[in-house]
Structure 1
C-alpha cells in the first residue's frame, strides 16, 4: 500500500505508568489509537480511566477506534450480574459451538479458558478493585467519551459493505447480525448483541 509504518513498542507494568512522553510521536505523523476491550478494565478506578484518556488526548490522535462488549455487567448486585452474564455467555458459547464445532480444537479451548473462563470468574466472584471485568453498553461509553472531549464519527458506506461481505464468508455467517448503534456498529449473534465498535476524534471547538 506504500504507507510508511513504524513500530515502537512501549512496555509498562501497570496502566498507572502510562504517559504521553513514552510514545515517540513525531510532528506531522498520523496517529491512530486502537483500543480493543481496554477501557472496561479501567472502570474500577475512574481516576486511572480519566488519566488514560487524557494521555490519549495529548497524543492528538486523528482517530480513536474503541471496541467493547455490548452488555451491562457492572451492576453492584451479584444476582443482576449473574443473569446478565448468563444470557450474554450463552449466546457467545452458542456462536463458538457453531463456528468451531470441534470441542477439542486447540483454538477453541485456549479461547474459552484464557478469555471466557477467566472473565466470567472475575465478573462473578470478585468485588471492589479486584473485579476488573465491568462491561457497560455503548450508551455509557458514548456519554463518557463526549464528556472527555471526543466527537463520534460515522463509518463509511464502504466499511459497512466490507463488514457484511466478511460475515458472508463464514459458514453460518447468516446467524451474525450487524446493525447501527448511533454512528457505531454492533455485532450480534441470533439477536443478542455482542460487540460494538465506534470511531472517535478529538472535538475541536470553533473560534468565535
Structure 2
C-alpha cells in the first residue's frame, strides 16, 4: 500500500536517504500486518538539522529528564548511574556531536509520527482503560509529579506537566 502511495507522500518523507529508509521500514511493517503495533517515543524533537536547534532541544528535553531522575531515583542506585551515563549521555553525545549518517538519535514528537503512520496505512487504536490504569499505578510508585494524559487515542507520560514520552497503538 505505501509503495503505491509514495507519489502522494509529502516531500519531507521522500527527499533524503533517512526518509527513504523510514518509508521502507513502515512499508515493511505494514506488510507484516500486525494485529497491534505499539509505538513509544520521546516527546522531544532533536532531529533538527542545525546544531544550535539540536542543542536547544537537548537542553530542554534532557534537562527535564535528568531532573525527573534526580527526584525519583536515589543518586547511588547503579541503574540510575548506568542510565545517565550509558544511555542518556550517549544519546546526547550522538545528537550534538554527530552529523549525517553518524547521527543515530533522531527523536521526534508523536505529532510527527502520526501522519507518517497514517500515510503508511496504519490506523490509531485507543489505549485500553485497564492498561492506562495499570500504567498510572506504576507511575505513582515513583512520585506524584508523574501523570498520564490521554489525548487523541494516545497516552503521554508527563513529569510536572512536561511531556516525556508518548505511547500510541496502531493496526493495519
Q: Which bracket does the TM-score occupy, shorter chain normalised?
A: 0.7 to 0.9
- Work out which structure has the larger RCO, using CA pairs closer than 8 Å and 6 or more positions apart in sequence: 2
Counterpart pick for 1:113 among 85, 93, 97 = 85
What corresponds to 1:71 in structure 2?
A: 44
Scaled by the length of structure 2, the TM-score of the pair is 0.85
What corresponds to 2:167 in structure 1?
A: 197
Aligned residue pairs total 157
Does structure 2 conserve the Cα–Cα contact (< 8 Å) formed by 1:153 and 1:200? yes
Q: What secondary structure is seen at the aligned counterpart in 2 of 1:163?
A: helix
Tell me the distance in 1 between the aligned counterparts of 2:59 and 2:164. Answer: 13
Tell me the distance in 2 between the aligned counterparts of 1:119 and 1:194. Answer: 15
Coordinate RMSD, CA, aligned: 1.6
Question: Which portions of structure 1, spanning 4 or more consecutive aligned residues, are displaced by more than 6 angstroms?
Answer: none
How many angstroms does 1:73 deviate by?
Answer: 0.8
Does structure 2 conserve the Cα–Cα contact (< 8 Å) formed by 1:88 and 1:192? no
Tell me the distance in 2 between the aligned counterparts of 1:105 and 1:166. Answer: 19
List aligned pairs for 1:76-87, cutoff 5 A. 76-87=49-60
Counterpart pick for 2:27 among 54, 64, 77 = 54
Unpaired segments of 5 or more residues in structure 1? 1-42, 203-208
Unpaired segments of 5 or more residues in structure 2? 1-15
List aligned pairs for 1:1-208, cutoff 5 A. 45-102=18-75, 104-168=76-140, 170-172=141-143, 174-202=144-172
C-alpha distance after superposition, 1:107-145 (max 9, x if no partner): 111111221011001111111111111111111100100
